[in-house]
Amino acid sequence: MCGIVGAIAQRDVTAILVEGLRRLEYRGYDSTGLALAQPGGDLALWRTVGKVARLAEKIKANPGEGVLGVAHSRWATHGGVTEANAHPHVSENRIALIHNGIIENYLEIRESLRGKGYVFHSETDTEVVTHLIHDFVKQGHDLTDAVKLAVKQLTGAYAIVVFDAQQPDRIVVARIASPLVIGFGNGENFVASDVQALLPVTRSFIFLEEGDVADVRRDSVTVFDARGRVVERKRHESSLSADAVERGEYAHYMLKEIHEQPQAIADTLEGRIANDRVLPNIFGVDADALLQRVRHVQIVACGTSYHGGLVARYWCEALAGIPCSVEIASEYRYRDVVVPKDSLFVTISQSGETADTLAALSQAKKLGYLGTFAICNVPESSLVRESDLVLMTRAGPEIGVASTKANTTQLAALALLMLELARINGLPAERLRELVAELTSLPRVVDAALKTEPEVRKLAERFVPKQSAIFLGRGTYWPVALEGALKLKEISYIHAEGYPAGELKHGPLALVDAEMPVVAVAPNDHLLEKLKSNLAEVRARGGELFVFADANADIDAHQLGVHEAHGALVKLDSGGNFIAPAVLTVPLQLLAYHVAVLRGTDVDQPRNLAKSVTVE
Ligand code: F6R
């Protein structure tokens, strides 16, 4: 989703801005641009469709310098992917503005500005805001007041960063519902949509709150709250490493992140389990009292994070004996929800900035839940700041758009929460000990699962010419099948659907023929025999089976009717039925990755997708 960077310094800021955009590439974008204030009240502007590297080339071909500038990577919402629609937008060659979000009432403001003689060069809602601010500046307001007046007229979601080349002492920013951070340097200050962009130049940040406007100068920052009062926002020192976003020896970030999973899961569990139990207070100081009262759990998330929630539902009901509902955030937020008594609201999000999840959280806060609990990977995110209790996954920055290590670390974090609820609700100590021991082994078992890669790479070749695929699983492995299908479709562009295996004969079986690969996840549990019957139904229709099974599952290639030229059976240690959903996710990630590589897609930045979905 769109990326924002801005800088005001004593040195040329061009390289800082370009590097900032590069570090935000993982969010997904389709065009970029950069503007610098020039001596004499003029401004220099470069914009291009395509990658940041192309923008850098364009700047190199026609170089410029400036101590004040802004840069943007755009993910099209209003208007197509064209240079004219790329940001920064400019008014009368003096006001330059970049924007994330959507201005809902831009058409009416545009009409009123047209009436005042403004000419529009793009189809965007952003250009409207640029001229609106210019109009206030023209009336004699300084830039800060002009922004304050302009935002009063806007409805929608936005993070705005603007400068006036004729008042080159400041950048002014404003936000509603789109993240914006200010980074503090030595005699220089920065703004961005995400701390990642600024890690090479600062680690000291403030996070703007809803309705804030800030006047950012080289040596001072003044923040005004939604009512116009000057406020202090708390400073945070980021612990993120600037190098964590380097790809190293790996061909893609996604592959690197798949291989980082053993360490990421170990980091997520570290210091949270000891003496065969989940340590008290890892969820926050007042968590224990709150968790004691929980009689229902409502999980809300999107995409891969939602799949994590689906696995946790099985754990919650089977181990803690507490009813659990799981819902997609974009549905939950617009529904008239009935909240059961003593219900805990749990959100799951890698980025902590997903607009639908944040909206669902803010909705939930009005509905009388016992409390809100976030499982999140980004400490500085809005979700973390707005939730009562937080359990951080410690996956480190996830750059590949397709979520991998965030997913398995979410499962580890959800397992901790569900084990704690299970303990509180009387799961026998011996059983709890076994489960904690199993969870502790997860990094090692995931590490072993990665060793299936050569085998998986080979069978990926069989998917290259395919148009569609079906993924099957039962119980906790149904969400694993959903996740396997999502991974394959988003990066290889092969149409893929996940189903509970028992649902096959209620419709999807009609699709099965010799052309249809069917991928199944077969654990060693009480549902194995049922799954085997479903797989026999697939074979009877000539479908090609690719089965990932626990090493001890009573299933063999002959039985399944798979052989060298038709399907495959890959057996691996899935580590026990509690952790197996996380383990069996790994070969499905590898499958999607290698199919995508063979099909030559843009693995880390698949078409039309963004890493952080900060708009609806
Ligand atoms: C798929 C994927 C998305 C995200 C979804 C939620 O690989 O990454 O489906 O899981 O957009 O994002 P977060 O977890 O940041 O809320």
Q: pLDDT of 266-284, one tens digit each?
A: 989 988 887 788 887 788 7
Pick 74 or 242 by higher pLDDT. 74
CA distance 449 to 585: 9
Q: What is the pLDDT of residue 245?
A: 64
The CATH number of the structural domain formed by 248-440 is 3.40.50.10490
Distance 410 CA to ligand 1 centre (A): 12
| Least confident segment among 271-280, 307-316, 378-387, 513-522 | 271-280
354 touches ligand 1 (CB under 6 Å):
yes
Confidence check: pLDDT of 152 > 70:
yes
Residue nearest to atom 5 of ligand 1 (CA): 303
pLDDT digits (tens, 9 = 90+) for 111-131: 999 999 999 999 999 999 999
Active site residue 324: no
188 touches ligand 1 (CB under 6 Å):
no
In 502-593, where do the E strands start and end?
517-522, 544-550, 568-572
Distance 571 CA to ligand 1 centre (A): 29
Residue nearest to atom 10 of ligand 1 (CA): 304
409 touches ligand 1 (CB under 6 Å):
no
Angle between helices 477-492 and 580-599 (to 10 degrees): 20
CB distance 330 to 591 below 8 Å: no
Q: What is the pLDDT of residue 559?
A: 85
Distance 451 CA to ligand 1 centre (A): 26
Band the pLDDT of 325: cuts 50, 70, 90. very high
End-to-end C-alpha distance for the chain, whole angstroms: 11
Confidence check: pLDDT of 177 > 80:
no
Confidence check: pLDDT of 157 > 90:
no
Task: Please name the fold of domain 3-244.
Answer: Glutamine Phosphoribosylpyrophosphate, subunit 1, domain 1 (3.60.20)
CATH homologous superfamily for 450-616? Glucose-6-phosphate isomerase like protein; domain 1 (3.40.50.10490)
Can you tell me which residue has the tokens 């968790």? Answer: 291
Distance 348 CA to ligand 1 centre (A): 10
C-alpha distances out from residue 102 to 21, 99, 127, 278, 451, Å: 20, 9, 12, 43, 45
CB-count exposure of residue 467 (10 Å: 0-12, 13-18, 19+) = exposed
What's the chain's length in residues? 616
380 touches ligand 1 (CB under 6 Å):
no
Using alpha carbons only, give the angle 309, 315, 321 rounded to the nearest 5 degrees: 120
CB-count exposure of residue 468 (10 Å: 0-12, 13-18, 19+) = middle
CA-303 nearest atom, ligand 1: 9
Q: Give CATH 3.40.50.10490 domain extents, the chain.
A: 248-440, 450-616
Mean predicted confidence (pLDDT) in 216-232: 97
Confidence check: pLDDT of 160 > 80:
yes
Pick 29 or 329 by higher pLDDT. 329
Q: Give CATH 3.60.20.10 domain extents, the chain.
A: 3-244
The active-site residue, picked from 51, 532, 571, 611, is 611
* Kind of pairing between the strands at 204-207 and 189-192: unpaired
CB distance 30 to 83 below 8 Å: no
pLDDT digits (tens, 9 = 90+) for 441-476: 999 999 999 999 999 999 999 999 999 999 999 999
Mean predicted confidence (pLDDT) in 44-65: 95
| Least confident segment among 227-236, 292-301, 384-393, 558-567 | 558-567
Distance 611 CA to ligand 1 centre (A): 7
Q: What are phi and psi of 281, to 5 degrees?
A: 70, 10
402 touches ligand 1 (CB under 6 Å):
yes
Instruction: Say what the pTM is.
Output: 0.75
130 touches ligand 1 (CB under 6 Å):
no
589 touches ligand 1 (CB under 6 Å):
no
CA-354 nearest atom, ligand 1: 16
Mean predicted confidence (pLDDT) in 539-559: 91
Q: What is the pLDDT of residue 72?
A: 97
Residue nearest to atom 9 of ligand 1 (CA): 303
**Per-chain mean pLDDT for the chain:** 93
Distance 307 CA to ligand 1 centre (A): 10
- State yes or no: cis peptide before 88, omega within 30 of 0: yes
In 275-342, where do the E strands start and end?
277-278, 296-301, 324-328
Taking Cα atoms as reference points, which of 167, 176, 181, 174 lies closest to residue 217?
167
Q: What is the pLDDT of residue 435?
A: 97
Active site residue 611: yes
Mean predicted confidence (pLDDT) in 430-448: 96
Ligand 1 pocket test target in 253, 304, 407 with most atoms within 8 Å of CB: 304
